[in-house]
Amino acid sequence: MSAEPVGTGTSGRGGNLAVDPDRLWNSIAETAQIGATAKGGICRLALTDLDRQVRDWFVARCEAIGCRVTVDDMGNIFARREGRNPALAPIAVGSHLDTQPTGGKYDGIIGVLAGLELLRTLHETGIKTEAPIEVVNWSNEEGSRFAPAMLSSGVFAGAFSRAWACDRTDRGGERFGTALEAIGYRGAEPCGQHPLSALFELHIEQGPVLEAENKVIGIVTGVQGMRWYEVTVDGQEGHAGATPMRLRQDALLTAAAMVRSVGDIAAAHAPDAVGTVGLIECRPNSRNVVPGQVFFTVDLRHPSDAVLDEMEAAMRARFAEDARGLGFRVDDVWNKPAVRFDGECIAAVREAAAGLGFPAREIISGAGHDAAYVAAVAPTTMIFVPCAGGLSHNEAESAEKDHVAAGANVLLRAVLDTDRRLAAARHGNLSP
């Protein structure tokens, strides 16, 4: 027999099963001290020693409740609570613990810590699921130190080769593979050889829609497509005082026109398109030297891959006009097509939110997430909760305790309902 359904109320069996909101909130506060910034956020870049510290914290808490922890060779961590039927692939929950340089306490983190709280709740109540339940911490989700984002879940899903991923370098030239070895989290299991029955990822929305509509739960139906580019503009360095304006080959002025073009193209494909230049490097970066070279990044996103094709074509055409004879190069870094999540997983979240009485709406994710890659190899969906002002990738990122707990309880119910469905299918009562 599979685990019984959950509902509202205090921790316990059956309809009263719920997470401990205080313990979950305390876990968020405790891990926020690892890499804490002066402005109240977190700087915990992937594969740094701070990343190692929070990984060690997570592993210790999982092992304390009897979970078996394994790590694959891309540094993804799987904390497993066994089920009645070890032949079933696990139902996984999770997200990531790495942050942006000026990141917040909730982005990704609540997905891992809510998973830990889910395991703690099952452990304390003695509920035995049919399938194993696992919490996953995916490596390098943010892509801030090693581009592209969601690098290890991409290898897991077969989008990238492990060799290619391990050769990604940060701005200082350190390889991903070298950094992974340095923090001691390169495991033995080949990445991608870890079957899953399903994956549920809890996350803050990172946008303003749920808050604006007074919704507590976002039922995520998919993720918009996104493309990353790196652009290098080559001009000629010259003396700032002795080089006339008409004779300059100023790489920064050209790059500035290109940056403006990115914004114009996104605006032309409104309301769903966005375009961002988030990183710029000017060389030689001296106040009295005409810039000779500029490097910058471009991030384009839209729910339609066809519209993204149009945006990319427009960007390349505009850049050719903006260059005005200067040399430039556009390198493709990442192309993540739009994703539609699994219908049965979406239904499990929808039913869980309704059963718990939480105001909810369907939503497409504007941000990229590990779930978007895992969806290619396992039934997957996401659960969103509001964040204040839609603010994320910011030290002021904030979420309400009750909303985080609500998301964790929807996660718990959706997982146990999925487990019931797997058990019924195993006994010939229902198709999975």
Provide the pLDDT for residue 429: 57
What pLDDT digit, counting tens, does each position of 142-190 carry?
999 999 999 999 999 999 999 999 999 999 999 999 999 999 999 999 9
Band of residue 425 on the pLDDT scale cut at 50, 70, 90: confident
Band of residue 308 on the pLDDT scale cut at 50, 70, 90: very high
Superfamily of 14-224+338-426 according to CATH = Zn peptidases (3.40.630.10)
CB 187 within 8 A of CB 72: yes
**Taking phi first (over 0 means left), then psi (-120 to 50 degrees means alpha), and beta for anything else, what does residue 425 get?**
alpha
What pLDDT digit, counting tens, does each position of 350-384 carry?
999 999 999 999 999 988 899 999 999 999 999 99
Provide the pLDDT for residue 4: 41
List C-alpha distances in Å: 351 to 172, 233, 317, 361, 423.
Answer: 48, 52, 47, 12, 18
The crossing angle, in degrees rounded to 10, of helices 251-268 and 305-323 is 150
Three-class SS state of 11: coil
5, 31, 4, 7: which is closest to 357 by C-alpha? 7
pTM equals 0.84
DSSP character for 142? S
Could you report how far apart the first and last alpha carbons of the chain are, in Å? Answer: 16
For 307, other C-beta atoms within 10 Å of its C-beta total 18
For the chain, give the percent of residues with pLDDT over 90. 93
Interval 21-44 mean pLDDT:
98
Provide the pLDDT for residue 39: 96
Sign of CA dihedral 334, 272, 295, 98: negative
Q: Number of C-alpha atoms within 13 angstroms, CB side, residue 214? A: 0
- Residues 6+ away with beta carbon under 8 Å from 316: 330
DSSP code per residue over 322-387:
HHTT-EEEEEEEEEE--EE--HHHHHHHHHHHHHHT--EEEEEESS--HHHHHTTTS-EEEEEE--
371, 256, 239, 369: which is closest to 318 by C-alpha? 256
pLDDT: is 9 or 394 the higher one? Answer: 394
Classify each residue of 33-47 as buried b or exposed e, where b means 16 or more C-beta atoms within 10 Å of its C-beta.
ebbbbeeebbbbbbb
- Token pair for residue 389? 């002002």
Element (H, E) at 217: strand 217-223
Provide the pLDDT for residue 16: 80
The full set of domain ranges for the chain reads 14-224+338-426, 225-336
Provide the pLDDT for residue 7: 36
CB 131 within 8 A of CB 90: yes
CB 118 within 8 A of CB 93: yes
Element (H, E) at 93: strand 91-95
Provide the pLDDT for residue 15: 59
Choosing among 3.40.50.720, 3.40.50.10860, 3.30.70.360, 3.10.20.30, the CATH entry for 225-336 is: 3.30.70.360
Cα–Cα distance for residue pair 226/332, rounded to 1 Å: 12
Cα–Cα distance for residue pair 100/85, rounded to 1 Å: 39
- Token pair for residue 125? 């109540």
> Mean pLDDT for the chain?
94
- Residues 6+ away with beta carbon under 8 Å from 370: 94, 95, 96, 136, 138, 141, 150, 153, 201
What pLDDT digit, counting tens, does each position of 152-164 carry?
999 999 999 999 9
CB 65 within 8 A of CB 20: no
Residue 197 has pLDDT above 90, yes or no: yes
- Residues 6+ away with beta carbon under 8 Å from 182: 47
For 337, other C-beta atoms within 10 Å of its C-beta total 14
Residue with tokens 């060389």: 283
Provide the pLDDT for residue 11: 34
What pLDDT digit, counting tens, does each position of 237-264 carry?
999 999 999 999 999 999 999 999 999 9
Provide the pLDDT for residue 428: 67
What pLDDT digit, counting tens, does each position of 106-153 carry?
999 999 999 999 999 999 999 999 999 999 999 999 999 999 999 999
What pLDDT digit, counting tens, does each position of 198-209 carry?
999 999 999 999
